[in-house]
């Protein structure tokens, strides 16, 4: 029955069911299916198709367990199995635990595993059989422990309490300072009233407050640090130094250009070589170190300010550096006295290969190979000793090749023995007399090619043509050289040629061929058969074999 007939019968059955003349189709539970239900509802999707008619894919899955036990059931992360004392067959070869292989082991790889030491370091894996449905597999919060969020809340609460405590301490400190200032101000006012002072200087706090309102100033009231973050209007804008798009990057938010806008101009000759060059040139690094020292000193309670009293700050910084070097020397001497090793600190006691070893210094070269930046790197040396000539030799082994013995040797004495002692010119003379005159002449002659050597062997009759043909896969020893076949019998050759031609034209079967060969030569392959095959093959390769000699026009 063809597919078209099956489709026609299926349609007729559906029409009969809709008309009521045919019984309705039954589902898996034996219930009739309404024939008027559309196909897109009655037909199950591919991932829920059971191969049987029914509307089970449209009904709720009553087998789904929605109890709280299933929702709370998850893998026990801290469960540990039985820990054996000896290695068991089938266990992990690394840690000795059952349940996984060495490839899946998460323990550190050991040089000698549990199968070698016969000792188990980890307990067996606990395998939980938890059946999850379609929704449980895709639930991102499945298995999450809500009680673990309590630790996060407690951590944030502790941080908030500490922040509140620090803020209260700062407020108490500020209140105490303001109270002390009020007492000092009251004392100053009393002195002014008694002595009639006309000094109307404002408080330092008010002065700094006025400066803080100025445009372009960023004032830190605690450390009295003033930083200018806007450029002076008389200065040329940095982005106007070079309008090339491929030039140095200009950050409009911070108004900074770290790299040089003109890369082809030397930084010394350029009007603006970038902020990185300005920060690293001159006394900028020293000023930054002094400013850092003043900030650190002020944070520790010392009255130190670079702008207010630069001389005292510089002197204190110098004394600090001297004191720091003294502490370093004291610490160094104490370590040397306790552990020793002072003899290794002097340059004369350090080995030469360490003092003059390789470094990782940065070097730049031009296209022509000239050194642009940095020092030239040291050439990497071999791990083997160089310029060392053992046995009184003046050359290395392998600097001379002996044509007679086809071996390498020393150039200074023509010795081919690696452990020999150099004998100089006497060794060369001895090496000459080692070989006979005939060997020296043969060795001095130019060597023939392989083709010429093969021709000489054929002429001398020493060429193994049959063995070579057998090695090439020809078991009969066919050769293209007729001279290697010896003397041929003309009568037998004619019979063999006739037989070969008939075989080529399919006029002679294999059985008849073997019978005729058995009558003539007893079934053996002779030189005439080999020559006949060559002659017939030459005739087949001739493009003019069908042309009659009488039909050829004279020149």
What pLDDT, in 10s, does the model give residues 328-384? Answer: 999 999 999 998 888 777 777 777 666 666 667 777 888 887 778 776 656 667 777
**Residues 324 and 396 grouped into a single domain:** no
Mean pLDDT of the chain: 77
Quote the pTM value. Answer: 0.25
Q: What span, in angstroms and rounded, lies between the C-alpha atoms of 17 and 12? A: 9
**Residues 299 and 367 grouped into a single domain:** yes
Residue 185: inside a domain: yes
Residue 534 domain boundaries: 487-549
Residue 418: inside a domain: yes
**Residues 505 and 543 grouped into a single domain:** yes
The mean pLDDT of 247-276, rounded to a whole number, is 80
Q: What span, in angstroms and rounded, lies between the C-alpha atoms of 272 and 238? A: 8
pLDDT for 217 beyond 80: no
Number of domains in the chain: 6
Q: Binning pLDDT at 50, 70 and 90, where does residue 226 land?
A: low
Q: What span, in angstroms and rounded, lies between the C-alpha atoms of 373 and 362? A: 8
- Contact between residue 313 and residue 294 where contact means Cβ atoms under 8 Å apart: yes
For helices 490-504 and 527-541, the axis angle rounded to 10 degrees is 50
**Residues 98 and 22 grouped into a single domain:** no
Which residues, other chains included, contact 139 with Cβ-Cβ below 8 Å and sequence gap of 6+? none
The confidence score (pLDDT) of residue 113 equals: 93
For helices 510-521 and 490-504, the axis angle rounded to 10 degrees is 170
**Residues 293 and 369 grouped into a single domain:** yes
Q: What is the DSSP string of 422-438?
A: P-THHHHHHHHHTS-HH
Residue 415: inside a domain: yes
**Residues 358 and 422 grouped into a single domain:** no
The mean pLDDT of 390-400, rounded to a whole number, is 87
Q: Which of 373, 400, 419 is the last residue of a domain?
A: 373
Strand ranges in 385-511 using DSSP code E only, listed in sequence order? 400-402, 407-409
**Residues 321 and 358 grouped into a single domain:** yes
Q: Binning pLDDT at 50, 70 and 90, where does residue 209 land?
A: very low
β-strands 371-373, 364-365 pairing:
antiparallel
Residue 460: inside a domain: no
Which residues, other chains included, contact 92 with Cβ-Cβ below 8 Å and sequence gap of 6+? 98, 99, 100, 101, 102, 105, 114, 122
Nearest of 300, 168, 279, 167 to residue 223 by alpha carbon = 300
Q: Binning pLDDT at 50, 70 and 90, where does residue 136 land?
A: confident
pLDDT for 254 beyond 70: yes
**Residues 319 and 352 grouped into a single domain:** yes
The mean pLDDT of 222-250, rounded to a whole number, is 69
Query: 3-state DSSP call for residue 371?
Result: strand
Nearest of 532, 537, 538 to residue 517 by alpha carbon = 532
Long-range contacts of 495-501 (CB under 8 A, 24+ apart): 495/520, 495/528, 496/526, 496/528, 496/529, 496/531, 496/532, 497/532, 497/535, 497/536, 499/532, 500/529, 500/532, 500/533, 500/535, 500/536, 501/536
Share of the chain above pLDDT 70, in %: 72
pLDDT tens readout for residues 188-201: 665 555 555 444 44
- Contact between residue 102 and residue 112 where contact means Cβ atoms under 8 Å apart: no
Q: What span, in angstroms and rounded, lies between the C-alpha atoms of 289 and 145? A: 52
N-term to C-term CA, the chain: 79
The confidence score (pLDDT) of residue 91 equals: 94
Residue 49: inside a domain: yes
Which residues, other chains included, contact 256 with Cβ-Cβ below 8 Å and sequence gap of 6+? 238, 250, 275
* pLDDT higher at 72 or 304: 304
**Residues 407 and 439 grouped into a single domain:** yes
Q: What span, in angstroms and rounded, lies between the C-alpha atoms of 73 and 132? A: 10
**Residues 100 and 174 grouped into a single domain:** no
Q: Binning pLDDT at 50, 70 and 90, where does residue 325 land?
A: very high
Residue 414: inside a domain: yes
């Amino acid at each position: 029955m063809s597919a078209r007939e099956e489709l026609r019968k299926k349609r007729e059955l559906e029409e009969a069911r809709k008309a009521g003349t045919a019984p309705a189709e039954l589902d898996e539970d034996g219930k009739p299916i309404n024939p008027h239900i559309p196909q897109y509802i009655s037909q199950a999707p591919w991932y829920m198709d059971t191969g049987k008619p029914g509307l089970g894919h449209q009904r709720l899955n009553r087998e789904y367990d929605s109890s709280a036990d299933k929702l709370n059931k998850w893998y026990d992360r801290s469960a540990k199995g039985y820990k054996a004392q000896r290695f068991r067959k089938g266990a992990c070869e690394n840690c000795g635990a059952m349940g996984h292989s060495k490839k899946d082991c998460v323990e550190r790889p050991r040089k000698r595993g549990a199968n070698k030491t016969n000792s188990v370091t980890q307990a067996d894996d606990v395998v939980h059989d938890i059946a999850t449905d379609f929704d449980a597999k895709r639930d991102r919060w499945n298995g999450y422990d809500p009680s673990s969020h309590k630790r996060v809340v407690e951590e944030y609460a502790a941080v908030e309490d500490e922040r509140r405590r620090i803020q209260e301490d700062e407020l108490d400190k500020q209140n105490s300072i303001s109270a002390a200032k009020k007492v000092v101000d009251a004392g100053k006012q009393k002195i002014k009233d008694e002595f009639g002072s006309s000094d109307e200087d404002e408080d330092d706090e008010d002065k700094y407050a006025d400066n803080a309102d100025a445009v372009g100033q960023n004032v830190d009231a605690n450390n009295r640090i003033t930083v200018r973050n806007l450029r002076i209007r008389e200065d040329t804008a940095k982005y106007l130094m070079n309008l090339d798009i491929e030039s140095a990057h200009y950050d409009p938010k911070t108004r900074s250009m770290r790299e040089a806008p003109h890369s082809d101009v030397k930084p010394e000759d350029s009007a603006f070589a970038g902020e990185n060059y300005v920060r690293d040139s001159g006394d900028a690094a020293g000023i930054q170190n002094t400013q850092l020292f003043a900030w650190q000193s002020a944070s520790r309670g010392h009255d130190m300010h670079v702008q207010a009293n630069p001389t005292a700050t510089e002197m204190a910084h110098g004394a600090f550096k001297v004191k720091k070097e003294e502490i370093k020397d004291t610490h160094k001497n104490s370590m040397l006295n306790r552990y020793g090793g002072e003899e290794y600190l002097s340059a004369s006691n350090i080995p030469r290969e360490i003092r003059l070893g390789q470094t990782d210094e940065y070097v730049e070269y031009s296209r022509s190979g000239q050194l642009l930046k940095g020092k030239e790197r040291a050439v990497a040396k071999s791990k083997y000793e160089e310029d060392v000539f053992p046995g009184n030799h003046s050359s290395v082994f392998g600097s001379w090749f002996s044509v007679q013995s086809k071996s390498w040797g020393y150039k200074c004495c023509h010795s081919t023995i690696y452990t020999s002692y150099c004998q100089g010119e006497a060794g060369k003379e001895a090496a000459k007399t080692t070989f006979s005159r005939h060997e020296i002449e043969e060795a001095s002659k130019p060597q023939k090619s392989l083709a010429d050597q093969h021709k000489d062997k054929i002429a001398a009759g020493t060429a193994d043509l049959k063995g070579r043909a057998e090695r090439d896969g020809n078991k009969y020893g066919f050769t293209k050289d007729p001279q290697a076949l010896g003397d041929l019998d003309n009568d037998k050759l004619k019979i063999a040629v006739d037989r070969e031609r008939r075989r080529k034209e399919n006029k002679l079967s294999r059985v008849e061929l073997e019978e005729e060969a058995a009558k003539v030569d007893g079934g053996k392959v002779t030189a005439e058969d080999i020559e006949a095959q060559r002659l017939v093959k030459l005739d087949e390769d001739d493009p003019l074999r069908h042309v009659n000699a009488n039909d050829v026009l004279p020149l």
